[in-house]
Amino acid sequence: MPFACIYVPNFPVAAASRAEPELQACALVILEGKPPLEKAIAVKVEARSHIDNFELQTKVPGIRIDAGVTLSSYDNGTGNVVHEEYWEKVPLPEQTTFNQWATYTGDESSGRQLFEDMFYRFFFVHELGHWMQDQVLNQRHDAKAQTAKKNAETARWQYETVANRISVAWWREHGQAYLIRLVDDFRKIQRKLPTPVPPGEDARAFFTRAYDKLTEDPNAYGWFQLQMVISAYEEQPAMSFQQAIDKLPGENYDK
């Protein structure tokens, strides 16, 4: 049977720009060690992250696939890095949780697919939201700058909510069908999970007070993360991506 081989120069770059046509107008470099989808998303988000009087373009974060049990995080303190993880390295108990959650959705065929849908797209932009939050906090010099920094370290619900707003706004503009499906899946999953909020307690206050303990329970911590995404999605009026990031200089994390 005849066959042919085609050589494509810089194939990873060509593949990423074909998958995301808007990247064709950007300077694009593909480095080893990151899933191609994340590389393409990072370039797009960073290219559109402009806030008057704040410098973001020369302070873009590194991306490492080494998050371990945290699965996804942004670390400003030791190098301005977004940390993600491969499914194969997700601890077995968490893999079991994702496999169970996938059965609740009706459209995610496996825990791996659900994990990658969540962490290689929505929560990846969420972590880039944390990058923008921290860069703005570090560059603020207004009268409330120090108060905002202090609040950001303790007001966990508000800090996470702001990053979720940024990710929701991004995906409304760059993947609305994906976002609608993901939030619908989150609602289905959350309805199957027992609420971790004790009777009579305020969910936000309890999340902050019991944060360290909650992170030890994938279902309890997951309930809160899903709730925060759903709440950000339901906020009205819906914000554009630019509106969401333009609010960062005035965000004091005191709500």
Three-class HEC string of 10-49: CHHHHHHHHHCHHHHHCCCCCCCCCCHHHHHHHHHHHHCC
User: Are 80 and 59 spatial neighbours (Cβ–Cβ below 8 Å)?
Assistant: yes
User: Are 98 and 112 spatial neighbours (Cβ–Cβ below 8 Å)?
Assistant: yes
pLDDT tens figures, 203-239: 999 999 999 899 889 999 999 999 999 999 999 999 9
Q: Which stretches of the chain score pLDDT less than 70? A: 1-36, 76-78, 255
| Euclidean distance between CA atoms 29 and 36, whole angstroms | 11
pLDDT tens figures, 68-84: 888 998 986 667 889 99
Which pLDDT does position 60 carry in this prediction? 83
| Euclidean distance between CA atoms 252 and 212, whole angstroms | 23
| Euclidean distance between CA atoms 40 and 228, whole angstroms | 26
Q: pTM for the whole thing? A: 0.84
